[in-house]
Amino acid sequence: MGRQISSFKGRFGYSGISSVAFSPDGKLVLLCNSDIMELLEVNSGRVIRSFKGHSGAVKSVAFSPDGKLALSGSYDGTMKLWEVNSGQEIHSFKVRYSGVNSVAFSPDGKLALSGSDDKTMKLWEVNSGREIRSFKGHSGAVKSVAFS
């Protein structure tokens, strides 16, 4: 049977956390709730920084494979690319007029995938923020995306 080994208490409480992502080395964790993301040390639970910039609820977060970047998707219709060490926003990707439910990095970190309320998945070039392809055909909102 499993047992709890830690809990996190950030600045904004964490009721209704919408997404959690651990850094590739397992030392950091990103939590999101409302329009704020917080970066915490796993061992101590200490809040390192907050990421603010979305105007709607953040629904999904992901670390890049090297742990240097983070990606967030929000109901404000954007994905944002962040530098983890500084907390600075690098890019904002406009996903047209639909909320973003899920985000993922490709294994090499060069591409990103988003899933949205508009029933599409979109493939993005991370460095340029350019949309490469839109995948259509779902009959409902795309709630989760991943790369194999």
pLDDT recorded at residue 14:
52
> What are the pLDDT digits (tens) for 100-113?
999 999 999 999 99
Q: Are 19 and 79 in contact (CB under 8 A)?
A: no
Of 112, 116, 134, 107, nearest to 125 by C-alpha is 112
Confidence of residue 10 (pLDDT cuts 50, 70, 90): low
What value does the mean pLDDT take over residues 39-47? 90
Q: 18 vs 84, which has greater pLDDT?
A: 84
Confidence of residue 15 (pLDDT cuts 50, 70, 90): low
Q: Is the pLDDT of residue 11 over 90?
A: no
31, two tokens? 């939590």
Q: Is the pLDDT of residue 12 over 70?
A: no
Helices (H) and strands (E) in the chain, counts: 0, 12
Q: The whole model's pTM is what?
A: 0.89
Separation between Cα atoms, residue 122 and residue 109, nearest integer Å: 15
Q: Which residues pair with 53 in a beta bridge?
A: none
